[in-house]
Chains A and B, each alone.
Chain A
Amino acid sequence: MFETPDEAARAWRTAGDESAARWLTEHLWPLLAHIALRHLPRGAAVEDLVQESLARAFTRIDQWNPARPFEPWVCTIATHLCLDALRHRKRRPEWSWSDLNDAEKSACRAAHSDSAVDPSVTSGGSALLEKLLDTLSPVDRVIITLLHLEQMEVLEISKLTGVSRVMVRVRAHRARHKLKKALEQLEASSVP
């Protein structure tokens, strides 16, 4: 039906073609769901965020410049909605050693050891990092996720978040410092 998201977006923009909106919804689901899963804490309503992102993109389609690709524009909307969702969380938790499960404890010990990482602890490492990211401010959390987990360039992160390139670097540096400190405190509290 449509070859590219840009073509479908143009059809929606010019004629309000419902089939274009349906095609875009199905085509963009994996990308937008991935963004929501990356940024939002586990158990968050991914579907709601994707739905809100698409509804906002379709409603404000006049603001999209057809000379530019559609997907990054929608990704920016989804990232901003993730930031809003993170800002609405009531508080940022502080984790102690007793809050970690066995896999996360193993990952914490593995991170502090010099030996090669056992593949069995990687999922625990992912969960532990997510807990540590929970302690950061929403913007810092998103920046660290994009920079280190998605391995994006600073310029891309700046475009997605609306934070200047200099501030992305500064925030990433400070956020890394906070994460290191939190990880050290966890490790220190593991010793009885």
Chain B
Amino acid sequence: MKTDPLDRLISMSRQSSPPDPGDPPPFLHMRVVAAMRAAGETSAQREWAVFSLGSLPLAAAIAVVCAWQQPHSVSPETTVILEEDAAGLIASALIDSTIPQP
């Protein structure tokens, strides 16, 4: 029975000696540590980027809430006082305009 050509090729590949990785390269440990630090810095930068991006809608939301609360932040008493002041100013202006100047 004829063997499958692919199986014969796979068998040849198994028989050939696999490439030898040899000794670990010098300073591999240092390179691993450096790669870990670089990865840590990159993730920290990503966090900052996410924070800065997230801060925009947060700021917008705070601004909307502040704008919505603005009319309610002035108490009715303050409004009355302000209205009285405005009325006084208008009256004094009218009086000033009606009295003839010397």
The complex places the Cα of A51 from the Cα of B26 at a distance, in Å, of 12
Q: Is B9 an interface residue (CB 8 A)?
A: yes
Q: Is B69 an interface residue (CB 8 A)?
A: no
- Secondary structure of the B side of the interface? helix
Are B10 and A180 in contact, CB atoms less than 8 angstroms apart? no
Contact size range, A:
35 or more
Residues of A within 8 A of B39 (CB): 55-56, 59
Residue of B with least CB distance to A187: B5
A122 partner, pick from B13, B28, B35, beta carbons under 8 A: B13
Q: Mark B3-20, 1 if CB is under 8 A from A, else 0.
A: 111101111111110110
Q: Is A17 an interface residue (CB 8 A)?
A: no
Q: Is B36 an interface residue (CB 8 A)?
A: yes
The answer to whether residues A55 and B5 also contact, given A21-B29, A37-B19 and a CB cut-off of 8 A, is no
Counting from the closest, the 3 A-B pairs by CB-CB distance are: A125-B12, A33-B21, A55-B35
Q: Which residues of B contact A (CB under 8 A)?
A: 2-6, 8-16, 18-19, 21-25, 28-29, 31-33, 35-36, 39-40
CB pairs A–B below 8 angstroms (8 shown) = A58-B32, A111-B9, A117-B15, A123-B16, A125-B15, A148-B10, A149-B13, A180-B5
